[in-house]
Amino acid sequence: GVTATNQNVNVLDFFSSLVVPELTSEPLSQRPVLRASCLKFVTVFRNQLPREQISQLLPAICKHITAESAVVHTYAAICIEKLLRVKDKTPQGQVAPRYDPVSMKGPLLQMVQPILQIIAASKGIPMNEYLMRTVARIFAFLKQQGAETGLAMLGPLSAILIAMAANPSNPVFNHNLF
């Protein structure tokens, strides 16, 4: 992502006035190219966007995982995966995750089952490595907070594993599946 911006370009104003309204509007099937571009904007400028605004927008970003467009649900997965990796320095000089797993738990866990359904049904991009990476990142980020849902998802994950074992054609997808 971007680490520095030009002071003459107001990224936050652009985000608030154009990106947020587009990502929060319904229905999700309208303007897929624009929605994908807005998700890409959030992904690229994730280090400049305030925690509070991203926390408010998170449920809307997570909803995009259910979009029919493979591009939109893939960009939503990439956006979430990258947001979960953002870290900030603490006043003590240590590096810590920007976002709190407890506050993000609900929207993130609601994404897991739709992602696994998309993968199992081979909707959009077969063996979509970005979707699988997002599932892995969600559970790595939530740690113990996601344990209960993780146990419930073992059935769908094992069905995907059996299907992929029969025809292992995407090593990155397989890596993230494990």
DSSP letters spanning 36-67: HHHHHHHHHTTTTS-HHHHHHHHHHHHHGGG-
Q: What is the pLDDT along the chain (178 residues), one digit of tens a residue?
A: 777 777 888 889 999 999 999 999 989 889 999 999 999 999 999 999 999 999 999 999 999 999 999 999 999 999 999 999 999 888 888 998 889 999 899 999 999 899 989 988 888 888 889 999 999 999 999 988 888 887 878 888 788 788 887 877 877 877 777 7
* Lookup: tokens for 119: 């993968």
Q: Are the beta carbons of 41 and 19 closer than 8 angstroms?
A: yes
Give the residue carrying structure tokens 């993780």: 150
In 80-151, DSSP assigns E strands to 87-89, 95-97
